[in-house]
């Protein structure tokens, strides 16, 4: 177990360093000569040798998954002392990855600029687009600046504190925004343990490479939406009037983060056992995930929607959901690779993204099908 | 022969470029007419117009809010003039002017706040040109003066021509 822990931390460190090769060419994070020389070297690797960069990234992600499955399998055999060390592991990995550059997505820059538009420029982000203030230096490295605020008021309000902490310094802002989502990750780990009382469920979520990537590396806000909606659902199902009210408020707040959680409304009217409600929630969110290409694309961070549900279902109650979630998160995380190779979203990218996601899932389903047939024959 | 082919290729290329440029350029577009006086929802829409003011906080948003309302009331005036509802039309035109007059102070405020709003200023200028075109059109179709005779009260002379001139002047100011 110790070796696995060490390897997990080591790979996280590699990711944290390697991620700075993905820094936007227009963005200067630190001017210290040591940092600049390392960054330039990594920059050269990522931007000039795109195939090698993708190979390294792919290898890192696969290693992460191998270690994840290893830890997940071995954690049940762990001693009491070793189990206590898991919390330390979560914190150490969280801190290391928090310091990484958002290598797979530009969304955190959009969050930062939207917060700046609201709290610094004092404009309504639902009426004014960031690009309308053409002298804002953040426009140099922010994408989707020609859109009105993409997220709801709950998210905009939540970004007040990190925008205050990080003003004037892009690197500090990135860290502050990631601390915000990291805090919600921490709250969710507590929720999982409180609800399931098993370490397995906590590890299943906490060390999933897609979760680590989308929370600590890319700093996506989906975790906030899911914690509020699932917290709301659990409180609502608690049946006590005061908790139900709180649960309802929490759920409404979740809808005003991103809106996807609105499909969970039917779960509030079900009187099923909780694990069945959670399974239904998993499939509802999976349905939304499948529909996302109609709007834009099936982004890897949307898997947070389904993984949060899977993490709350007891291990022996939904084995398929758990194993399917792991394969799905692997397939979705691989979607980052084509862009690293081609540096464009179009071209052959969409086909590769589809293959990288679909092939692992289809192969998994095929083997599962074969297994079920062989069981019937016996 | 080769030269001719070369000239034709250049011509086709340039026609694409020039055609493309002309396609890219879009004139300022005014909105469709909203609810008109007499409609049950007209008063509601006017109340919403006022309430929206609180939603459009910020200097850039302020420009957008007042320009949007100025557009809306100008279109309302245009429609009412076409239906010869001169009293209502002049009222809408006055409201459009009132909203337009508000715009410069928000532009100044945005500049004081350090915001580079070159694109927005360009939009406002384009809007002013479009407004003036519409107002010029009124001059051809609308009488310079109209005596409005309501039931039971004394007639009122509506100086429509002067009002239109005033509106053009407001939009022509730099």
- Range of lowest pLDDT (A183-187, A343-347, B66-70, B120-124): A343-347
Residue A303 above 80 pLDDT?
yes
Are the beta carbons of A194 and A186 closer than 8 angstroms? Answer: no
State residue B154's pLDDT score.
Answer: 86
On whether residue B13 sits in a domain, the answer given is: no
What ipTM describes this predicted complex? 0.87
Cα A330–Cα A334–Cα A335 angle in degrees, nearest 5 = 125
With CB atoms and an 8 Å threshold, state whether A124 touches B56.
Answer: yes
Note the pLDDT of residue B10: 61
Flag whether pLDDT at B16 surpasses 50. no
Rounded mean pLDDT, B35-62: 97
**Span A17-64, pLDDT tens digits:** 999 999 998 998 888 999 999 999 999 999 999 999 999 999 999 999
Q: What's the confidence (pLDDT) of residue B51?
A: 97
Q: Is the pLDDT of residue B48 over 50?
A: yes
Distance, CA of B126 to CA of A73 (rounded, Å): 66
- Write out pLDDT tens, residues B100-158: 999 999 999 999 999 999 999 999 999 999 999 999 999 999 999 999 888 878 888 99
Question: Does A378 score more than 70 pLDDT?
Answer: no
**Is the model more confident about A243 or about B81?**
B81
Name every chain B residue with its beta carbon within 8 A of the beta carbon of A134: 116-119
Q: Please indicate if any CB of chain A lies within 8 Å of the CB of B55.
A: yes
Tokens of A234: 């659990």
Which is more confident, A8 or A240? A8
Q: Given a cut of 60, is residue B17 above it in pLDDT? A: no
DSSP A203-265: HHHHT-HHHIIIIIIS--THHHHHHHHHHHHHHHHT--HHHHHHHHHHHHHHHTTTSGGGGGG
Instruction: Compute how many other C-beta atoms are within 10 angstroms of the C-beta atom of residue A37.
Output: 10
Per-residue model confidence (pLDDT) at position B6: 61
pLDDT averaged over every residue in chain B: 89
**What distance lies between CA A18 and its chain's CA centroid?**
19
Helix (H, G, I), strand (E, B) or coil at B148: strand
Residue B13 has pLDDT above 90, yes or no: no
- Model pLDDT, residue B2: 62
Query: Which of B57, B62, B66, B109 is the best substitution to test chain A (most A C-beta atoms within 10 A)?
Result: B57
Residue in chain A nearest B123 by alpha carbon: A132
Q: pLDDT tens, A315-348? A: 988 899 999 999 999 999 999 999 999 998 888 9
pLDDT at A90 (0 to 100): 95
Does residue B82 carry a pLDDT above 50?
Answer: yes
pLDDT for B164-174, tens place per residue? Answer: 999 999 998 64
pLDDT digits (tens, 9 = 90+) for A92-132: 999 999 999 999 999 999 999 999 999 999 999 999 999 99
pTM: 0.90
Taking only residues 127 to 166 of chain A, the set having a beta carbon closer than 8 angstroms to any beta carbon of chain B reads 127-128, 132-135
Q: Which helix (H) or strand (E) holds B162?
A: helix B160-172
CB atoms B64 and A128 under 8 Å: yes
Is residue B21 very low, low, confident or very high in pLDDT (cuts 50, 70, 90)?
very low
Domain that holds residue B144: 30-172
pLDDT of residue A242: 83
Q: In degrees rounded to 5, what are phi and psi of residue A74?
A: -85, -15
B16 found inside a domain: no
- pLDDT number for residue A220: 97
Q: Number of structural domains, chain A?
A: 1
The domain total for chain B is 1
What tokens were used for A15? Answer: 């990711």
Residue A239: is its pLDDT beyond 80? no
Among left, alpha and beta (phi > 0; psi -120 to 50; other), residue B151 is beta
Per-residue pLDDT tens for A61-92? 999 999 999 999 988 888 888 888 899 999 99
Torsion of CA A239, A245, A246, A249, to 10 degrees: 130
Residue B23 forms part of a structural domain: no
Quote the tokens at residue A211.
Answer: 């979760």
Q: Determine the Cα–Cα distance for residues A123 and B60; give it in Å rounded to an integer.
A: 7
Domain boundaries, position A58:
2-377
Q: What mean pLDDT is predicted for residues A3-25?
A: 95
Q: Is residue B82 part of a domain?
A: yes
Nearest-by-CA chain A residue for B52: A127
Verify whether the Cβ–Cβ distance B64 to A135 is below 8 Å: no
Locate A301 and state its tokens. 């961070």
Question: What is chain A's mean pLDDT, rounded?
Answer: 94
A124 and B55 within 8 Å at the Cβ level: the answer is yes
The rounded distance, in Å, linking the Cα atoms of A263 and A282 is 11
> Using CA atoms, how far apart are residues A343 and A340, in angstroms rounded to an integer?
5
Q: Tell me the mean pLDDT in the region A276-291.
A: 96
User: Region A272-297: what's the mean pLDDT?
Assistant: 94
* Stretch 85-144 of chain B: residues touching chain A, C-beta under 8 Å: 113-120
Burial (CB count within 10 angstroms: exposed 0-12, middle 13-18, buried 19+), residue A317: middle
Residues of B with CB below 8 A from A126's CB? 55
Per-residue pLDDT, A174: 97
Provide the 3-class DSSP secondary structure of residue A23.
coil
């Amino acid at each position: 177990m110790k070796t696995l822990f060490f390897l997990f931390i080591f790979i996280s460190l590699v990711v944290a360093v390697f991620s700075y090769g993905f820094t936007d060419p227009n963005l200067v994070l630190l001017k210290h000569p040591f940092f600049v020389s390392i960054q330039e070297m990594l920059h050269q690797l990522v931007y000039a040798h795109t195939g090698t960069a993708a190979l390294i990234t792919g290898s890192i992600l696969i290693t992460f998954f191998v270690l994840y499955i290893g830890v997940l399998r071995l954690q049940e055999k762990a001693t009491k002392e070793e189990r206590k060390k898991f919390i330390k592991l979560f914190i150490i990995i969280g801190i290391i990855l928090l310091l990484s550059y958002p290598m797979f997505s530009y969304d955190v820059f959009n969050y930062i600029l939207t917060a700046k538009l609201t709290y610094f420029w004092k404009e309504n982000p639902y009426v004014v687009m960031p690009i309308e203030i053409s002298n804002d230096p953040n426009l140099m490295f922010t994408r989707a600046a020609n859109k009105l605020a993409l997220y709801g008021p709950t998210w905009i309000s939540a970004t007040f504190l990190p925008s205050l902490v990080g003003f004037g310094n892009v690197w500090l802002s990135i860290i502050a925004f990631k601390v915000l989502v990291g805090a919600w990750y921490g709250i969710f780990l507590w929720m999982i343990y409180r609800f399931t009382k098993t370490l397995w469920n906590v590890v299943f979520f906490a060390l999933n490479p897609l979760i680590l990537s989308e929370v600590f590396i890319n700093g996506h806000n989906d975790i906030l939406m899911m914690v509020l909606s699932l917290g709301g659902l659990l409180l609502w199902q608690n049946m006590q009037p005061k908790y139900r009210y709180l649960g309802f408020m929490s759920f409404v707040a979740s809808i005003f983060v991103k809106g996807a959680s609105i499909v969970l409304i039917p779960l509030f009217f079900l009187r099923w056992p909780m694990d069945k409600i959670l399974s239904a929630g998993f499939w509802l969110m999976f349905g939304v995930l499948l529909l996302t290409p109609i709007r834009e694309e099936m982004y890897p961070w949307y898997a947070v929607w389904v993984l949060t549900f899977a993490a709350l279902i007891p291990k022996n109650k939904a084995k398929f959901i758990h194993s399917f979630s792991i394969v799905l998160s692997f397939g979705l995380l691989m979607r980052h690779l084509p862009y690293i190779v081609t540096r464009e979203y179009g071209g052959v990218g969409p086909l590769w993204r589809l293959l990288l996601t679909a092939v692992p899932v289809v192969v998994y389903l095929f083997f599962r099908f074969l297994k079920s047939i062989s069981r019937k024959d016996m | 022969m080769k030269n001719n082919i070369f000239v034709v290729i250049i011509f086709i290329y340039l026609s694409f470029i020039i055609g493309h440029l002309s396609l890219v350029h879009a004139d300022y577009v005014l909105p469709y007419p909203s609810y008109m006086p007499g409609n049950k929802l007209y008063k509601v829409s006017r109340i919403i117009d006022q309430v929206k003011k609180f939603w459009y906080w910020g200097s850039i948003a302020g420009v957008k809010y007042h320009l949007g309302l100025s557009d809306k009331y100008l279109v309302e005036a245009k429609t009412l003039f076409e239906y010869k509802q001169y009293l209502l039309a002049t009222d809408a035109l006055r409201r459009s002017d009132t909203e337009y007059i508000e715009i410069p102070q928000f532009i100044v405020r945005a500049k004081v706040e350090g915001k580079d709003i070159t694109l927005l200023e360009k939009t406002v200028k384009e809007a002013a040109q479009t407004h003036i075109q519409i107002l010029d059109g009124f001059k051809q179709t609308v009488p310079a003066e109209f005596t409005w005779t309501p039931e039971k009260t004394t007639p009122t002379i509506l100086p429509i021509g002067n009002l239109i001139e005033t509106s053009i002047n407001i939009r022509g100011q730099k």
